[in-house]
Amino acid sequence: MFDKSKIVHSNVVAEATKQALIRRGVTLEDIAEIVYELQIPYNEGLEMSHCLESVKGVLRKRELQHAILVGIELDELAEQGKLSQPLQQIVESDEGLFGVDETIALGSVFTYGSIAVTTFGHLDKNKTGIINELDTKKGRGVHTFLDDLVASVAASAAARIAHRSRDLEESGETFEDVLPGDTMPETKIKGAKI
């Protein structure tokens, strides 16, 4: 049963998530670059600072934090040969039919609506930026879960920008009028919680 006395503070989870990404060689800037590339064609005045803020924004969501912590833990355990067989072999070899890596990552983007889901599909197929680097790093560490998790963070952050962009359009503004710290769209997404 859930024990309230053992509750983990959200700041602890958020920090652990950020540290896990950094430990695995992924910076928030790497992810922001993907977001920028995805969204610059549609957003006049969009800057890297808006994208970085959006990445930080989505990393405040527990859905993403939990997915990242679980996935990275499994990558690291596989790297150390600590999973039991046959899971060890499946994760280590990034077996094509495994799919749990994609399922966990995809499940974490639903908060940001259908734009996040389709963007995740696009990134999964085209492997932009750091996602491609992780994918081609095969043989140098296990990144079976990490590539999909990075795609989910980037897809969520891009969707966040897209939703804000619509709001701006409706009020006759562009990202040029938005301070980097003001990309918050959560209240406008159906079903999303803050």
d(CA 178, CA 45): 9
Residue 75 carries which side chain, given as an amino acid letter? Answer: D
Closest by CA to 75, choosing from 91, 90, 64, 63, is 91
Residue 146 or 168 with smaller CB distance to Ca ion: 146
Among 101, 130, 142, 175, binds Ca ion (CB under 5 A): 101
Residue 124 or 186 with smaller CB distance to Ca ion: 124
Among 30, 33, 53, 147, binds Ca ion (CB under 5 A): 147
> Does residue 148 bind Ca ion (CB under 5 A)?
yes
> Does residue 53 bind Ca ion (CB under 5 A)?
no
CB of 106 to Ca ion, least distance (A): 11
CB of 193 to Ca ion, least distance (A): 27
> Does residue 75 bind Ca ion (CB under 5 A)?
no
Cβ distance 73 to 144 under 8 Å?
Answer: no
The secondary structure of residue 85, as a DSSP letter, is: T
DSSP letter string, 119-146: HHHHHHHH--THHHHHHHTTTSS--TTH
Binding site for Ca ion (CB under 5 A): 101, 144, 147-148
